[in-house]
Amino acid sequence: MSSMQSSPTASHALGAYESPTSKLLHTVAKFLIRRRILLSAILFGLIIAQDVAYGPKPHNLLNVRDPWSVIGLVMVLLGTAMRSWAAGILHKNAQLTTVGPYQLIRNPLYLGSFLMMFGFCTLLGDPKNFLIILGPVLLIYIVKVRQEERLLASRFPEQWPGYVATTPRFVPRPRRLDLSAEWRVRQWVHHREYQALLATLAALVAIQVWHTM
C-alpha cells in the first residue's frame, strides 16, 4: 500500500507544477500590470494621432448647447473628483480603507480613471476611440484589479471577506454614506494625484485649442 501512495515531496512538486501556458499568461499579466500606465499612454497617443490625421475635430468645451461636450466634460470632472477624493483618504498597506468613496465601491481610483477616459473619448468625438477603452485598456485594468484584490485578501484576511460582501467592485449600490472620513492633502500629494489633475487640465486646454484651429 505504501508504494502506491505519493510522497509529500512528490505531491508538493505536482502542486507546484505550472504548465507553459500558465507561465506565459502569468508573464503577460505581470507585464500588463507593470506597464499599464505606459501602455495606456501609448494607446491614447495613437488615438490622438489618428484623430489629428483623419478624425473629426473635438467638441467645443465652451459650447453648453452641445450635449456631447457637456457629457464629456462632466465625466472628466467627475472622474478627476473621484480620484482626488479617494487619493486623499487612501492609506496603502497601513490599513484596509473602507470609508469615503471606498464605502461605495472597492476601486474608486480605477472608476475615476475610466470616467475620465470615457469623458475624453466623448470630447474627441470619434466613436472608434471607445473600442480602445473597452478592449486593451479594460483588459489591463481588470488584470491589475484582480491582482490587487488577491493581495488585499492575504494582507487583511479578517476584514476583506466582510468588505467584499457589502461593497461592489465598480457599480455603487444606494446606501447611506458616512462623510466623516478625513481627507488629507498630505495623502493626496503622497499618491501624486496632483499629476493627474495637472495632466487633465493640460489635456482639456489642448482639446479646446485643437477645436479652434
Domain boundaries, the chain: 27-172+185-212
Is domain 27-172+185-212 annotated with CATH 3.40.1350?
no
Least confident residue range of 32-36, 47-51, 63-67, 142-146: 32-36
Answer whether residue 162 shows pLDDT above 60: yes
Residue-level pLDDT at 67:
96
**Average pLDDT rounded to a whole number, residues 70-87:** 96
Identify which has the larger pLDDT, 95 or 31: 95
Please say whether the beta carbons of 74 and 87 come within 8 A. no
User: What's the Cα-to-Cα distance from 169 to each of 153, 164, 172, 178, rounded to whole Å?
Assistant: 14, 8, 8, 18
Cα four-point dihedral sign 188, 190, 191, 193: positive
Q: How much of the chain exceeds pLDDT 70, in percent?
A: 81
Of the pLDDT bands very low, low, confident and very high (cuts 50, 70, 90), residue 86 is: very high
Residue-level pLDDT at 94:
81
Residue-level pLDDT at 14:
42
Of the pLDDT bands very low, low, confident and very high (cuts 50, 70, 90), residue 178 is: confident
Identify which has the larger pLDDT, 84 or 182: 84
Give the relative orientation of helices 67-87 and 193-212 as an angle to the nearest 10 degrees. Answer: 170
Answer whether residue 7 shows pLDDT above 90: no
**Average pLDDT rounded to a whole number, residues 182-200:** 92
Residue-level pLDDT at 4:
41
Of the pLDDT bands very low, low, confident and very high (cuts 50, 70, 90), residue 182 is: confident
Residue with the three cell numbers 475635430? 57
Residue closest to 188 by CA, chosen among 112, 104, 76: 112
